[in-house]
Every structure is written in structure tokens, then in C-alpha cells.
Structure 1
Amino acid sequence: MKAIVVGTGFIGPVHVEALRRAGVEVVGIVGSSAEKSIAAAERLGLPCDITTLDQALADPAVDCIHLTSPNRLHFEQAKAVLLAGKHVLCEKPLAMNSVESKELVELASRSGTVAGVAYNIRFYPLCHEAAQRVAEGRVGDFHHVTGSYVQDWLLKPTDFNWRVLADDGGELRAIADIGTHWLDLIQFIAGQKITDVCADLRTIYPTRQKPVGGAQTFSGDRPDAADTEDVAITTEDCGSVMFRFASGANGCLWVSQTTAGRKNCLRFEIAGSQSTLAFNSESPNELWIGHRDQPSETLLRDPALMSQQAGKIANYPGGHNEGFPDTFKQLFRSFYGYIASEDRPARRPFPTFEDGHHEVLLCEAILKSHRKQAWQSVNADG
């Protein structure tokens, strides 16, 4: 299998590294210009022959295209990849609205190709362990779940990135950017969909200072005030979402990109009638298991001690930690393994375009709920 990565920002090179570790040959990386494509390819030690998406689409040697471009480009690019008859793995969100994401689902189902969304957080081994314990009934009846996903990279009004702009990233930002990772993960673990939401969101900085020369996520650059311009912001910096599952179980999520000291912290606590499971992505090799009538315990990531399903995505023995880059490697192994199996009726062991579409529907329901300040059903038929 040969792959092309589209996007040269933070996450594009992450895909390149993980693809290599997963045993997939990367034959190029494409940026917004030929110059950016060549510079990124040289920096990553990749061939420079392909410098545009159109070239990648026309090349019969390219099997799969990874889309890590800005959100507003996902729909047109994913559609073009599917129409070209190539496999596609798209970063979230799948599209800017549910009309677009539904069209992509329908196109993918007709194309005969394999299409997935890069919800990599599922692929921490202990998240798979949590899902398996829920599925086996070891947690008991699913009562409720609480959690958060918090960062601090937009803590200051001088922090700026294209994601804060609704035209580039979508009307939702913190929820769509990181909150959907949490929501996808919890539905994966619970084995059921969220059906209703009630949201309260907040824009802390209605105005941010945009560097005149542009800015890159996590670059660490702090432009001089004289080199910035004021830009109005309508997307949210933080917010809370209450929700209900199809079973009636409920929960609450807090999302923030303005929490000082938290660089990339996802947490959940799932309470069942028999036990509780708690996880923190900043300590991803530990799963806390709470009991009432016996001592609570901490399960350290160890293939010899976990379920078979979780052990399949843990490559190192206990005590040899695995982290964020490994989640992409395991996602890609799952995705390309499914392609290689050629068993299309089989269950797809990775986040699909259908999952990506549901997350877009969730985001639309969350935004409607916030604006109405009332509960909102998720439109499953959208």
C-alpha cells in the first residue's frame, strides 16, 4: 500500500510518522502550494514527485490519501478522493455540515473503497480495554459518565489559529476540535449513540489578535503587538454539554481550550452498577477500576493482563509505555489491515464515515441547544 498525506501543519507529519511505523509506504506530502509540498517532503525525507492533490488523484500507484487539511476543505477533497477510486482517511470533522457529511457517507458506500475518520483516541489500548469490559458486562448496567477534554493553547487573546475562525473551522470550535474526540470515544466504549444534548457554550475572547503574517498551531511564536490586527471571534473557547444515551444513561462533558497548564488532557469516568472505570490521557497507561465491596485497583497497560481485544493494539510489554503517536499507528494498522483483508462485509474496526457523520449531527444539535438554551435531539436521519 502506498499513501499520500495532504496537509503540512501539525497533524500531517504525525500521520507520516505513524504510517511509516505501521508499515505503509508514504510516497509524498501535499501542502497548499508546490513550495510547501517540497519543503515538507524534504524535511520528512519523502519523495518530492507529487506536489498537488490532483497529481495524487491521477497517480495509479497511490492507494490511499490521508486528509489533514483545514476543516473547510475536507468535503471537497474527500469527495474527490472517493470519485478517484482511492481509499481515504480524513481528519475530523468529516465535513462542515451534515448535508456534506451525509453525501460523503452515501458516496463512500457506493465507491467500493474504504473510508475512515481519524478519531485516534479510541486506540489507546486501555480505551479498548474499557470498551471490552463494558461489552462483557463487567461494569454492569451503564449508569452515567462524566469527563472533560481541556487544553491551554488558546488561553491568551494573542493566541491565534485558523481554527478560531468560523469560516475556516466551522461554527463550533472547542467542541468540534477536541470535544468530538471525547464524544466519539465515549460512544465507542458505551457501545451506543448519544441521542439528546443540552449545551452551554462561551466565547471568552470575542476579539483576538491575529498575526499579520499568519500563525501556525503550537508554533510557540508570540508576535509583537504591533504586528497583529483585531479579529472578531464567534466560536466558543469552552463549554459544557449534558447528554443522554439511547438506553437512558446520561452524562456531562466539559471542554476548554483556555485551561492554564492543561496541554492535552482527556478524562472520563464511567459508572456502572458493578464497577467504575476512569482514564486520563496524560497518564494513558493506567485505567482506574473502582469497586464498592473490595479495594479499587489500577490496571497498568500490559498485553498479558488485558483483554484479547485490547492486547491486539498494545505492541510493548507492561512497563514499556505507549502514548499519543502510538494511537495513530494502531488506527492505521487497523485501517490498512481491513483493506488488505478484502472482507468488506466484516465489521470495520476503525471510525467510519458513518461515525464522522454522527459527530457532525451531534455538533449541530449541540449548537442548536446552546442557542435555544434547551434540550435538543440529535437528528439521526440527517
Structure 2
Amino acid sequence: MRKKLKVLVFGTGFAGQGHAQAFRDAGAEVVGIVGRTPKIVEDVAKKINVPYFGTDWKQALETCQPDIVSIATPGGAHVEPIKQAIQFGCHVFCDKPLTEGGDSAQELYRLAEEKQVKTAFAASFRYMPHIMQAKELVAQGYIGEPREVECISHFNLDPYIPFGWSHTIENGGGRLNNNFTHLMSIVTSVVGENILAVQGEVRNDMPKAPVVSGVHNFTERRNFIPKDINDPNLEWKDCNVEWSYTILMKIESRLPAAQPVSVLFKHGGLTPRFNEDHIVFHGSKGSIYIKGHYGNGPLYLWGENKEWVEVELPQHIADELPKIEDDTQRSWTHLAKQLVQDLQGENVEPYQGFKEGAEYQQIIDHIRKNDRWLDLN
């Protein structure tokens, strides 16, 4: 029998527990988990049945001797643990964003290349079933030459979500790091991986946030919104990240001799949606419309009959993906399987790594500069 690869997880929240499950589903052995708080990491380790737990990452690397490390903390805490893991010769599975900035992300990519370790970058909603279906339809010529893409989403987030890592640039927060990364991955997977040009602007709609203790799991932060936001004793902290963005991009088409594909990304973190969030791919012969901000579906095709027709998901795509209902968990698991199978010498489809993670972070840095306006005053 093939020896199981050993995985050490860094992070105890929603992502850390999800990564652990993903690697177990991929056939690897989760040998340890590391977090910041002793009681929390112990409780999580017992909950998900992980034998080793602790708060010292370097000690965990030495004790567990993992083949793979899974980085599931906020982006601002990625750099040093990844550097140490690479020096140990570990392969790295990292959630988005890769780091808090383009320079540090590029450094990690360079170090991984020098040590010849494999990396996986989990902007993993490119593995949504209907996104994979759209990629297939485009490749088969159903819309002709891809020309235009639009990604429209409005999340209507509560402006009083308690202050945390998502509110600051230095901790890897912001909608570009935690929403736009997925959308770049989705669009490039369908029309072509080579990003040619980008420009955009961002807006901070949440300049301050209330400080509330007890929030550990990112997905449960809404449960901690203060009941009285006008309480004079409530502490507030400044937020320095974007909550909305508008971005234009040119992507080299995967089709030979085709024009670059024009892409619009429009996201409002705090604004309400009137109709469905959606992703649309327009081509010279037809269009693909997918409901949902990450292409949740269903998918509709506009073709020669000049009307939108819903197209069922092909069975072979459903069979290719793990049988998991939750979109995030299914996507993590699929990518973890790609990495594990690759390390075991199997042939796998190309998957994103630190090369893309570093490129995305440099793009985000550029957009945040917001310096492409023509001042008409």
C-alpha cells in the first residue's frame, strides 16, 4: 500500500478545520494542528481527532515531520510559518490571500521555487461545478470567441460586524483579498490564465468597527454584533481596507489568435442586491449566464435560438468532484486531492500555486493605489 502523506495544519477556525477534513478526504493523514490559543487548539484537536496540537509552529514542524503543511490562518499571519515550512522542505497548501502584500507573496513564491516544493493556492471556487461546466462549454465553442465577462455581486454585509482580521490590510483583510481572488481564479479558469492588464478603484464603506470579544470562527461573527451600537462604552477601531471595488481587466484568450477578453468585476460588500448576483461570459456566437456570486448556478446558455436556456450539469463533472454539499468544503477537498495525487506521482490537471498567489497579490496592491484617475477639476 502507498504510504499516507502527513499533513500539519496551521489554524483552528473555520478554514483550519475545513482544510483538515479536505486532506483526510484526499487520503492524507492529519498529524497535527497549531493555533494561537492553548485551550482553543486543544479543544479543536480533540473535536476533530488530531493527535498533536500546540501553539509553537516550529516545534510542531520538528515533532510532526509533515510532508505537507496547510496554512489556514488570516493572510497577515502567513509569511513566517510558510518560510519555516519551506525550509523544512514541506509542500504548502495555502488559503487566499497568499500574504498581506505583493512583495512578501513574491518572496514566498521565489523561496518555494528555490527549494523545489510544490504549492497549492486555494482561491478554489474555480472548482464550482457550473464554473467547470462553463469552461467546458467555452472550450467546445458554444459561445464562439470569448469577448466579455462581467462578475456582479452585492453582499449586504452588516456594517457593525465586530472588528477583526478582515478589517485591516496588515492582517490580510479586505474584499480584494477575500472575494476578488476567487473571481480572478474563476474567470481565468474559463477564458485563459494569462492576465494582460488591470485597473480599478476601491472604496472603504466601513471606516470603523465595534470591538467585541469572543469571536473565533469567522463564519459566526454576525452572532457577535452589538445589540446597542450607540452604547457609549462600546470601543471602536479604525478599518483601513476596501469593502467595495470596481475593476477592469484584460485577459489573453485561450483560443488562438483571439482578441483579449474584457472583464468587469463589480462588488459591493455592504450594498443590497436587487436581483441575482451573477457571472456572465459573452462571446461572438453566444453567452453563458451563471447565477450566484461564485457561479453557484444554475447555468443558462444563449445561442442560435436567441433565448436563454437552462443547461443541466453534465454527470461527468458531478462525478469528478467530491460528493460534498458545502461549496467551500468541496472546493478545498478537490484542490487537496489534486496536490496529494500530484505528490504521489499521479497525473493531475494543472492547479494554482504560489505563482498565481503572488501575481494576485501584486494586482491587489496596484488596485489599492487607485492612481489611474484623470482629474477633470
Give your verdict on TM over 0.5.
yes
Structure 1, 234-243 or 295-304: larger mean CA deviation:
295-304
Q: Within 1, Cα distance between the matches of 2:292 and 2:75? A: 24
Structure 2 counterpart SS, 1:269: strand
Q: Within 1, Cα distance between the matches of 2:209 and 2:234? A: 9
With over 3 angstroms needed to count, the CA separation of the structure-2 counterparts of 1:121 and 1:273, relative to structure 1, is: same
Deviations 1:336-360 (A, max 9, x none): 11111177xxx76221111111111
Indicate conservation of the 8 Å contact 2:279/2:292, yes or no: no
Deviations 1:205-238 (A, max 9, x none): 2222222566652321233545631212221111
Gapped regions of structure 1 (runs ≥ 5) = 305-309, 375-382
Shift of 1:312: 5.9
Is 2:275 the counterpart of 1:275?
no
Deviations 1:109-137 (A, max 9, x none): 12122111111101123212222332343
Residue 328 of structure 1 is matched in structure 2 by 332
Residue 95 of structure 1 is matched in structure 2 by 99
2:260 to 212, 228, 248: 248
Matches within 5 A, 1:365-376: 365-368=366-369, 370-373=370-373
Indicate conservation of the 8 Å contact 1:15/1:328, yes or no: yes
Residue 192 of structure 1 is matched in structure 2 by 193
Q: Within 1, Cα distance between the matches of 2:52 and 2:261? A: 51
With over 3 angstroms needed to count, the CA separation of the structure-2 counterparts of 1:177 and 1:315, relative to structure 1, is: closer
Shift of 1:66: 0.5
Shift of 1:321: 6.1
Structure 1 counterpart SS, 2:211: strand
With over 3 angstroms needed to count, the CA separation of the structure-2 counterparts of 1:49 and 1:236, relative to structure 1, is: closer
Moved over 4 A (4+): 212-216, 224-227
The one-letter code sitting in structure 2 at the alignment partner of 1:102 is: Q
Gapped regions of structure 2 (runs ≥ 5) = 253-258
Matches within 5 A, 1:71-86: 71-86=75-90
Indicate conservation of the 8 Å contact 2:93/2:121, yes or no: yes
Residue 62 of structure 1 is matched in structure 2 by 66
Residue 302 of structure 1 is matched in structure 2 by 314
Residue 338 of structure 1 is matched in structure 2 by 342
With over 3 angstroms needed to count, the CA separation of the structure-2 counterparts of 1:156 and 1:6, relative to structure 1, is: same
Q: Within 2, Cα distance between the matches of 1:192 and 1:363? A: 17
Identity %: 21
Structure 1 counterpart SS, 2:320: coil
Indicate conservation of the 8 Å contact 1:338/1:348, yes or no: no
The one-letter code sitting in structure 2 at the alignment partner of 1:193 is: N
Q: Within 2, Cα distance between the matches of 1:342 and 1:134? A: 27
With over 3 angstroms needed to count, the CA separation of the structure-2 counterparts of 1:54 and 1:276, relative to structure 1, is: same
TM-score, length-scaled by structure 2: 0.85
Q: Within 2, Cα distance between the matches of 1:285 and 1:340? A: 33
Residue 257 of structure 1 is matched in structure 2 by 269
Q: Within 2, Cα distance between the matches of 1:76 and 1:280? A: 39
Residue 256 of structure 2 is matched in structure 1 by none
Indicate conservation of the 8 Å contact 1:199/1:242, yes or no: yes
Q: Within 2, Cα distance between the matches of 1:212 and 1:294? A: 55
With over 3 angstroms needed to count, the CA separation of the structure-2 counterparts of 1:275 and 1:199, relative to structure 1, is: same
2:172 to 157, 169, 173: 169
Q: Within 2, Cα distance between the matches of 1:61 and 1:150? A: 43
Structure 1 counterpart SS, 2:218: coil
The one-letter code sitting in structure 1 at the alignment partner of 2:353 is: T
Q: Within 2, Cα distance between the matches of 1:193 and 1:228? A: 47
The one-letter code sitting in structure 2 at the alignment partner of 1:121 is: F
Indicate conservation of the 8 Å contact 1:149/1:182, yes or no: no
The one-letter code sitting in structure 2 at the alignment partner of 1:207 is: K
Structure 1 counterpart SS, 2:235: strand
Deviations 1:274-310 (A, max 9, x none): 2212223477353222214355432222324xxxxx4
Q: Within 1, Cα distance between the matches of 2:213 and 2:165? A: 13
The one-letter code sitting in structure 2 at the alignment partner of 1:104 is: L
The one-letter code sitting in structure 2 at the alignment partner of 1:128 is: M
Residue 380 of structure 1 is matched in structure 2 by none
Is 2:244 the counterpart of 1:238?
yes
Residue 321 of structure 2 is matched in structure 1 by 314
Deviations 1:126-184 (A, max 9, x none): 2122223323433311110001344334x2235432211223225xx111211111012
Indicate conservation of the 8 Å contact 1:290/1:297, yes or no: yes
Q: Within 2, Cα distance between the matches of 1:238 and 1:360? A: 17
Deviations 1:303-348 (A, max 9, x none): 24xxxxx4663355xxx967332111111111111111177xxx76
Residue 301 of structure 2 is matched in structure 1 by 289
Q: Within 2, Cα distance between the matches of 1:191 and 1:2? A: 34
Matches within 5 A, 1:197-212: 197-211=198-212
Indicate conservation of the 8 Å contact 1:5/1:12, yes or no: yes
The one-letter code sitting in structure 2 at the alignment partner of 1:169 is: G
Indicate conservation of the 8 Å contact 2:93/2:120, yes or no: yes
Aligned residues: 358
1:135 to 132, 136, 139: 139
Structure 1 counterpart SS, 2:281: strand
The one-letter code sitting in structure 1 at the alignment partner of 2:321 is: A
Structure 2 counterpart SS, 1:23: coil
Q: Within 2, Cα distance between the matches of 1:177 and 1:68? A: 13
